[in-house]
RNA sequence: GCGGCGGUAGCUCAGUGGAUUAGAGCAUUGGUCUACGGAACCAAGGGUCGGGGGUUCGAAUCCCUCUCGCCGCACCA
């Protein structure tokens, strides 16, 4: 069953097509009608015709179509299209029957590898990881919703020179007490202590250097200690993911170290293809179009002059692995905007090497910073980075207080957590990801306005209607008489297109906007149209259907954002 | 210097070629309803869409230029 928009598009495309083959009808949702087709102006220009006449000709062809109740030409050649009531009702009935609310599965299911969250071992997760985690998780859910095969990848920082000092610090503390410290989640404290010793103590520094050599040389005892650090960190990350209700599992972890034994092959392959240039002792690839401060070609350093590997090599190895081993059709990197140039270079080199081809796409899904109310980087009052766990806990405390003030009596722990996570995630997701966004507790936790709690509450209140049914009424055949009913219906029918557009642009914010508009349409409907108090059984049933579809749409939409929709709150 | 992203109402943001009134939320002001759990509702005020130029029948939207803010620009990831 194709969506209503697709039916409208097909009909208008056919009509325009008989004037000019393959013409784009440019069909849009309209504020003047249900839809408008703007194709006439562009086509008239290429044909040297009068756009209004052309629009009239096309409109004439559409007028017989039972899909439309009214077809009008306006202005320079806009074609305004109003759907017939029967078409709208048929669309709603189909939506109600559909398990997916009419959301189409992708015509060709893709394997989509989504790289997100990516915290560092023995370092606290902070607000900087929040956006990657929340946006990445929503993208996973959106792609899965449309029938794609999603492979989550948590590219944690688990390798590199810092591990020398971290392992030595672990030994200094004694393994047992180190583990218990890490287990309590004080990763930052652990890291800072190691760093302090490293900076102050030459002897410690030397031990750390030797430890790095042992680690890279594959010394078994060193590797064992390293694994302790990694395992404890992952255990801690998991508690954060569970609190956030994010779908990342331990099995999704592919840390930097995972690619260690592939790095030589990466360089060999690049060299065999004649791409490697040795510059200042480092093995580099110079992708065209990248320059440094002085306008000279900028290298991607694949192997450092000390023969060590940096993250460029790891990222290239990961691309190869995801294509060859995972079978990726699409790879998303949900990483902050500062890494824009890095990924542009990685993708350029992977393309030069022939790994990225027309059939495999890699996209840097970049995002802006989280800012505090002062519009500066979000920090604590003492100027430290905000720990993610502390942030989530504060959110829960605040939402609990707000719920108590509202006289909440239900399972307060559960609801407070659902509301807090909904608030935090929604605030993050609802702003265009490219922009910086301002973190503001009062705004995000409000039950009014474009917020997570507002949408959760909207859902819960609609569900409450069903709990209050006393006369056995149930959703039934839909009729649309009031304008608010029709407006709500049109809003409901827009869901599949919104999901598609959110996926195409990797922008959950489009779904947020839609859900908020839907909730507003519902309010207008609910204000104007009595449901349980409707005059007759048929009207009650019809309106209950609209309520049910709205609740389902909110639930499915929030779920795609990773936000719970409680039945009561 | 080069490059990326951003600059839309007092505040937070939608809107990336289309229509005479550029939208929403919050805040402000006025009004309405015996409140299907008021997430009330209706209405009003509030904008040179950073400035300028261009393309077009039509520009917040495309192009050029200037400006302001944030970020990046070889061996840390």
**pLDDT tens across A178-216, in order?**
888 877 777 888 888 899 999 899 999 999 999 999 998
pLDDT at A107 over 70: yes
- Domains of chain A and CATH, by start: 4-83 (3.30.1360.70), 162-250 (no CATH), 406-411+440-561 (1.10.730.10)
**pLDDT tens across A290-334, in order?**
988 888 899 999 999 998 898 999 999 999 999 999 999 999 999
| pLDDT value for A264 | 94
Q: Quickly give A16 CA vs B17 C1' distance in Å.
A: 20
Residue closest to sugar C1' of B26 by CA: A449
- Protein-contacted bases of chain B (C-beta within 7 A): 1-7, 12-15, 18-20, 24-27, 36-37, 39-42, 57-58, 70-77
A278, β-bridge pairs:
A283
CB A201 within 8 A of CB A245: no
**Smallest CA–C1' separation from A455, nucleotide:** B39
| pLDDT value for A408 | 66
**pLDDT tens across A80-94, in order?**
999 999 999 999 999
CB A331 within 8 A of CB A115: yes
Give CA angle at A305 (A301, A309), nearest 5°: 55
DSSP conformation class of A432: -
Q: What is the ipTM for the molecules in this complex?
A: 0.93
Question: CA-CA distance, A344 to A354, in Å (whole number)?
Answer: 15
Give the CA radius of gyration of chain A. 28
Question: CA-CA distance, A124 to A120, in Å (whole number)?
Answer: 8
**pLDDT tens across A234-271, in order?**
999 999 999 999 999 999 999 999 999 999 999 999 99
**Smallest CA–C1' separation from A547, nucleotide:** B36
pLDDT at A149 over 70: yes
Higher pLDDT, A456 or A402: A456
Mean pLDDT for the stretch of residues A23-43: 85
| pLDDT value for A23 | 80
| pLDDT value for A122 | 87
Q: Within 10 A of A159 (CB to CB), how many other CB atoms are there?
A: 21
The answer for A22, left when phi > 0, alpha when psi is -120 to 50, beta otherwise, is: left
Q: Within 10 A of A398 (CB to CB), how many other CB atoms are there?
A: 18
**Smallest CA–C1' separation from A155, nucleotide:** B77
Q: Within 10 A of A304 (CB to CB), how many other CB atoms are there?
A: 16
pLDDT at A143 over 80: yes
Burial class (CB in 10 A: 0-12, 13-18, 19+), A148: buried
Mean confidence (pLDDT) of chain A: 91
**Smallest CA–C1' separation from A512, nucleotide:** B14
DSSP notation for A171-213: HHH-HHHHHHHHHTT-HHHHHHHHHHHHHH-HHHHHHHHHHHH
Residue closest to sugar C1' of B35 by CA: A527
Mean pLDDT for the stretch of residues A330-347: 95
Distances (CA, A) of A523 to A30, A458, A496, A529, A565: 21, 9, 21, 10, 18
pLDDT at A387 over 50: yes
Among residues A562, A565, A538, the alpha carbon closest in space to that of A554 is found at A565
pTM of the model: 0.94
- Which letter, b or e, does each residue of A119-131 get, where b requires 16 or more Cβ atoms within 10 Å of its Cβ? bbbbbbbbbbbbb
| pLDDT value for A1 | 47
**pLDDT tens across A510-551, in order?**
999 999 999 999 999 998 899 998 888 999 999 999 999 999
């Amino acid at each position: 069953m194709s969506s209503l928009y697709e039916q409208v598009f097909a009909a208008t495309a056919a009509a325009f097509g008989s004037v000019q083959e393959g013409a784009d009808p440019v069909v849009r949702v309209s504020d003047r009608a249900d839809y408008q087709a703007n194709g006439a102006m562009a086509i008239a220009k290429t044909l040297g015709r009068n756009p209004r006449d052309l629009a009239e000709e096309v409109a004439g062809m559409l007028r017989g179509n039972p899909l439309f109740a009214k077809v009008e030409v306006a202005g320079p050649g806009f074609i305004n299209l109003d759907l017939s009531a029967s078409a709208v009702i048929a669309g709603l009935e189909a939506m109600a029957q559909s398990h997916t609310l009419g959301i189409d599965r992708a015509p060709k299911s893709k394997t989509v590898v989504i790289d997100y969250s990516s915290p560092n071992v023995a370092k606290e997760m902070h607000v900087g990881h929040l956006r990657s985690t929340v946006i990445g998780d929503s993208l996973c859910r959106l792609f899965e919703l449309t029938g794609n095969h999603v492979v989550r990848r948590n590219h944690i920082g688990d390798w590199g020179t810092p591990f020398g000092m971290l392992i030595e610090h672990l030994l200094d503390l004694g393994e047992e007490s180190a583990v218990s410290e890490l287990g309590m989640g004080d990763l930052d404290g652990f890291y800072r202590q190691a760093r302090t010793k490293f900076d102050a103590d030459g002897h410690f520094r030397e031990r750390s250097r030797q430890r790095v050599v042992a680690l890279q040389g594959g010394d078994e005892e060193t590797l064992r200690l390293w694994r302790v650090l990694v395992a404890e960190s992952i255990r801690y990350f998991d508690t954060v993911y569970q609190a956030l209700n994010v779908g990342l599992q331990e099995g999704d972890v592919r840390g930097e170290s995972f690619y260690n034994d592939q790095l030589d092959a990466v360089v060999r392959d690049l060299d065999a293809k004649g791409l490697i240039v040795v510059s200042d002792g480092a093995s580099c690839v110079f992708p065209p179009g990248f320059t440094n401060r002085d306008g000279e070609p900028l290298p991607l350093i694949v192997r450092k002059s000390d023969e060590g590997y940096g993250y460029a090599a790891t990222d290239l190895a990961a691309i190869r692995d995801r294509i060859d081993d995972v079978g990726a059709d699409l790879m998303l990197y949900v990483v902050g905007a500062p890494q824009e140039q890095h990924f542009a270079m990685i993708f350029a080199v992977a393309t030069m090497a022939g790994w990225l081809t027309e059939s495999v796409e890699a996209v840097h899904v970049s995002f802006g910073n989280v800012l505090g109310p002062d519009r500066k980087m979000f920090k604590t009052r003492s100027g430290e980075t905000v720990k993610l766990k502390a942030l989530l806990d504060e959110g829960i405390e605040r939402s609990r207080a707000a719920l108590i003030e509202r006289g909440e009596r239900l399972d307060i722990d559960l609801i407070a957590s659902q509301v807090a996570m909904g608030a935090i995630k929604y605030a993050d997701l609802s702003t265009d990801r490219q922009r910086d966004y301002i973190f503001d507790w009062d705004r995000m936790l409000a039950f009014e306005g474009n917020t997570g709690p507002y949408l959760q509450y909207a859902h819960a209140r609609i569900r409450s209607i069903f709990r209050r049914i006393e006369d056995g009424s149930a959703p039934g055949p839909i009729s649309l008489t009031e304008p608010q009913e029709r407006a709500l219906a049109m809003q409901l029918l827009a869901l599949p297109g919104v999901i598609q557009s959110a996926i195409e642009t990797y922008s959950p914010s489009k779904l947020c906007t839609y859900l908020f508009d839907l909730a507003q349409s519902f309010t207008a409907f609910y204000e104007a149209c009595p449901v349980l108090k409707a005059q007759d059984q048929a009207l009650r049933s019809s309106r209950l259907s609209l309520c049910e579809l709205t609740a389902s749409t909110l639930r499915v939409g929030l779920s795609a954002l990773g936000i719970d929709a409680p039945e009561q709150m």
